[in-house]
Structure 1
Amino acid sequence: MGIEINLLPWRQAQRERRGKRFNLALGLMAVLGLGVGYAMTFYYDHQLAVQQQRNDHIRTALTRLERDIRTISEYETARDALLAKIDVFTELQQGRPQTVHVFNELASRLQEGVQYSRLARQEARLRLEGQAEDNYQVSNQLRALEASAVFGVPVLSEVEGTEQDQRRFALSVAQRLPGEQEEASP
């Protein structure tokens, strides 16, 4: 007869131990998976919050830069306006003695028998209206103005006779700038 060994309970116990270990490993893996998932979620949420802070900082800096750019633009506009005013003042300062010089030159070049009745200025061009006793005096007046270093070549626009045997005339002449006057003097 032989000895009979029944391995069925031992196999059953081993199967239960393996099942428990499997369930325990499965449970540990599930807990570990949930922990890793939670940690990843926390990490990404933290990274998102940090990026939001960076974005907010950039928006704040951008708003400040836009405000500074507007301020600089306003300063540039004010500077341009001031420069324009300075240019006008400089031009007026430089033109002040020039106007006196023009009037002195007109008076010194006035021919005998010629009278000016109207003087108008448009930029650097003078328009003169006046009377003379005859055409010869009008011609002499044109030559006298042309010989001046202050004036360019005069252009006679009209001459007409009046009832008192006088000649009414109108002419225009360009005023030379100070640099041009020095060139025309010799």
Structure 2
Amino acid sequence: MARINLLPWRDELREKRKKEFIAVCIAAALIGVMAVALAWFYYAHKLEDQEQANQLITSTNQNLDVQLKSLEGLENQRNAIIERMKLIQGLQGQRPIAVRLIDEMARVTPSSLYITKFIRVGDKFTIEGKAESPNTVAEFLRNLEASAWYRNAFMNSFLAVEEKKDKTPTSVVPRVEESYGSFVITADLDQIAQPNDSNTLQNPATSTAEAAQ
């Protein structure tokens, strides 16, 4: 029987397997490095995109802050304009009221009474003048109370003229007004005359008639 030496063949097979193993290891290492590199590039790109998005959000927030500050300034300007318009409307609403107050005062004043001073502070009036007698002032007070523009009329004082003891004959005929006494009256502005709404400009007589209905 012939003897066959298998050692060389086994050595060659071992070397071949060894080389194949080394090649597989190198290929796996290369594949791992490539996978790690690809993963690093992928996440680096994602991180760059996220940083750009964060920067965009930051710049947008800054722009919004600037716009909000400008809006606050516009809001303050708007409020100032509204307050100015309200003031102008209030003055325009009070202008015809002052005319009607004077007209009503002339209407309710008796013939034997005249006014020397008419002062208004807010809704309070102080009326000074001269009258023939306290009865004339009382009539004036009743007229004020009956008016749609005045209320709470009250006579603070009435000072009669003292008669002169020395009646020297003279050719000068004294005026009737010289014998009138001085009076001071206070009154308030009636609710119907206060400029609270559009009804303040209507005729007080019409408003009184509507209230009576």
Question: Over aligned residues, Cα RMSD in angstroms?
Answer: 2.5
Deviates more, 1:29-38 or 1:6-15: 6-15
1:178 to 201, 210, 213: 201
Letter in 2 for 1:159: N
Offset, 1:114? 5.4
Evaluate the alpha carbon distance shift between residue 39 and residue 171 of structure 1 in structure 2; reply closer, same or farther with a 3 A threshold. same
Evaluate the alpha carbon distance shift between residue 110 and residue 143 of structure 1 in structure 2; reply closer, same or farther with a 3 A threshold. same
* Equivalent in the alignment of 1:34: 33
TM-score (norm 1): 0.82
Distance 1:134 1:146 in 2: 19
Offset, 1:6? 2.0
Letter in 2 for 1:98: I
Evaluate the alpha carbon distance shift between residue 32 and residue 22 of structure 1 in structure 2; reply closer, same or farther with a 3 A threshold. same
| Residue 45 (structure 1) aligned with residue 44 (structure 2) | yes
Distance 1:127 1:72 in 2: 45
Given that 1:119 and 1:128 are in contact with CA atoms closer than 8 Å, whether structure 2 keeps it comes out as: yes
| Residue 159 (structure 1) aligned with residue 162 (structure 2) | no
Letter in 1 for 2:120: A
Q: Secondary structure at the residue paired with 2:151?
A: coil
Cα deviation 1:66-120 (Å, max 9, x = unaligned): 2222222222221221122122112212322221221222233223335454512
Distance 2:151 2:159 in 1: 26
Cα deviation 1:36-61 (Å, max 9, x = unaligned): 10111011001110111122122222
Aligned-pair identity in percent equals 24
TM-score (norm 2): 0.72
Given that 2:145 and 2:153 are in contact with CA atoms closer than 8 Å, whether structure 1 keeps it comes out as: no
* Equivalent in the alignment of 2:121: 121
Deviates more, 1:162-171 or 1:50-59: 162-171
State how many pairs are aligned.
Answer: 181
**Structure 2 matches for 1:1-186, cutoff 5 A?**
2-111=1-110, 112-113=112-113, 115-122=115-122, 125-130=123-128, 132=131, 134-149=133-148, 151-156=149-154, 159-160=156-157, 162=159, 164=161, 166=181, 168-175=183-190, 176=193, 177-179=200-202, 181=204, 182-184=206-208
Which structure is higher in RCO with an 8 Å CA cutoff and minimum separation 6? 2
